[in-house]
Amino acid sequence: MGIFEQMEKYGHEQVIFCQHKATGLKSIIAIHDTTAGPALGGCRMRPYDNEEEMLFDVLRLSRGMTYKCAIADVDNGGGKCVIWGDPASDKTGEMFRALGRFVDGLGGRFYTGTDVGTYPTDFVQAKRETPYIVGVPLEYGGSGDSSIPTAFGVLEGIRATAMKLWGSTSLKGKIFAVQGLGKVGAKVAKSLADEGAILMVTDVVQANIDRFFDVVPDAAVVSPDSIFSLACDMLIPCALGAVLNDRTIPELRCKAIVGSANNQLLDEEKHGTMLKDRGILYAPDYLVNAGGLIQVADELHGANPERVLSKTNAIYDILLQVYELAEARNIPTSIAANQLVEERLNRIADIKRIRGSATRSVT
């Protein structure tokens, strides 16, 4: 498919190719939809096999950001940036300064920060060239560790799901299977333990299990392969994407799935439907893991931790709304979340038709 065909198919507004020979920068910025506000999305660095793969990734990820911003009620649109290269060997500070110049040229249509393969310190360099950067370290004006609000949002999602399943947010005595004890998973699991839940946990890195055990010694450790087939109340995927697929869904013995991992459904429509048919309640990942996004977006308004907390808290009500919509329309929760976003963006677009006092007249 040609580039314009892909942009038309997925609804992208703008794609920018950036090249700077002296620093080796080869980057694509995709702006999907700016109905709700300037595009916002992280910058991923990967040794892509070819340009097609790189373009596909940035188009897919930027579209995902539109949905994530809209469902979290953040006044930003969807965008993303990708850099072609190996983060371990090809990265330099000057490369990120060059990227900063390109981002600056967009005049505030796009804000970026870290993603897979890039770190807050890389964006300290980019920020020397442009103000349109988020997620830098605290000492450079950033808002700090995003895994804290992300974990908080996942917990709100778990509570909303408990309310839907059992009519109560109490998690005491409920059984949770947690995949991944990294930055988010360990925080979620610790909070569940504090609320009297029974935990089964797994990770592929023994040091992460040991660290968790120091804090929650009575959690049961299971092998990474067995986590999907455990009889439990909720499965909490906090490791990798595409974990809900043809192989794992038939094995599941949980009542609901609520986790931080991005893109948990290998195929949104097909696997969302399989979960619905099996009667397993699925909390759309891009809603329940939006706490980190809420925090970086908040930097654009002068970071305010209380506001971040209250916006992340709202994940509880939004998720219940998604569950109700899915039930009323008899559709998978993943599709209900998408429909909620699309309907909301249409309403916002209509509001923006109203000419405000600050609107510059072109006549």
* Cβ distance to ligand NAD smaller for residue 129 or 203: 203
For the chain, how big is the Rg over CA atoms in Å? 21
* 181 annotated ligand binder: yes
* Cβ distance to ligand NAD smaller for residue 183 or 344: 183
DSSP assignment of 337-353: HHHHHHHHHHHHHHHTT
* 180 annotated ligand binder: yes
Residue 201 Cβ, how far from ligand NAD at the closest point, in Å?
9
Do the beta carbons of residue 352 and residue 35 sit within 8 Å? yes
Do the beta carbons of residue 91 and residue 45 sit within 8 Å? yes
Identify which range of 15-23, 145-153, 166-174, 313-321 contacts ligand NAD by CB under 6 A.
145-153
Tell me, residue by residue from 254 to 273, as one string, x for binding to ligand NAD by CB under 6 A and - for no binding.
Answer: ------xxx-----------
**Which two tokens mark 142?**
């950033």
* Cβ distance to ligand NAD smaller for residue 1 or 116: 116
* Cβ distance to ligand NAD smaller for residue 30 or 261: 261
Asked if 312 touches ligand NAD (CB under 6 A), the answer is no
- Nearest-angstrom CA–CA distance, 201 and 215: 13
Q: Which of 68, 80, 164, 311 is catalytic?
A: 80
* Cβ distance to ligand NAD smaller for residue 143 or 208: 208
Residue 5 Cβ, how far from ligand NAD at the closest point, in Å?
29
DSSP assignment of 79-132: EEEEEES-TTTT--HHHHHHHHHHHHHTTTSEEB-B-TT--HHHHHHHTTT-S-
One of 62, 76, 161, 289 touching ligand NAD (CB under 6 A): 289
Identify which range of 34-42, 232-240, 274-282, 312-320 contacts ligand NAD by CB under 6 A.
232-240
* Cβ distance to ligand NAD smaller for residue 102 or 286: 286
- Nearest-angstrom CA–CA distance, 153 and 149: 6
Tell me phi and psi for residue 220, to 5 degrees.
-90, 130
For residue 3, the surrounding DSSP H or E stretch is helix 3-10
- Which residue has its beta carbon closest to ligand NAD? 182
- Nearest-angstrom CA–CA distance, 124 and 141: 10
One of 125, 150, 312, 334 touching ligand NAD (CB under 6 A): 150
**Sites for ligand NAD among residues 45-104 (CB under 6 A):** none
Residue 240 Cβ, how far from ligand NAD at the closest point, in Å?
5
- Nearest-angstrom CA–CA distance, 118 and 125: 12
3-state class percentages of the chain: helix first, strand second, coil last, to nearest 5: 45, 15, 35
Neighbours of 361 (CB within 10 A): 5
One of 114, 146, 333, 338 touching ligand NAD (CB under 6 A): 146
Asked if 153 touches ligand NAD (CB under 6 A), the answer is no
* 79 annotated ligand binder: no
Do the beta carbons of residue 100 and residue 129 sit within 8 Å? yes
Asked if 298 touches ligand NAD (CB under 6 A), the answer is no
* 185 annotated ligand binder: yes
**Beta-bridge partners for 200:** 177, 220
**Which two tokens mark 27?**
């980057």
Instruction: Reply yes or no on whether 80 is catalytic.
Output: yes
Tell me, residue by residue from 161 to 180, as one string, x for binding to ligand NAD by CB under 6 A and - for no binding.
Answer: ------------------xx
* Cβ distance to ligand NAD smaller for residue 87 or 93: 87
Tell me, residue by residue from 182 to 211, as one string, x for binding to ligand NAD by CB under 6 A and - for no binding.
Answer: xxxx----------------xxxx--x---
**Distances from the Cα of 335 to the Cαs of 115, 237, 316, in angstroms?**
25, 19, 18
Please report, as ranges, the residues that interact with ligand NAD according to CB under 6 A. 146-147, 150, 179-185, 202-205, 208, 224, 238-240, 260-262, 289, 292
Annotated binding site for NAD(+): 180-185
Just list the catalytic residues.
80
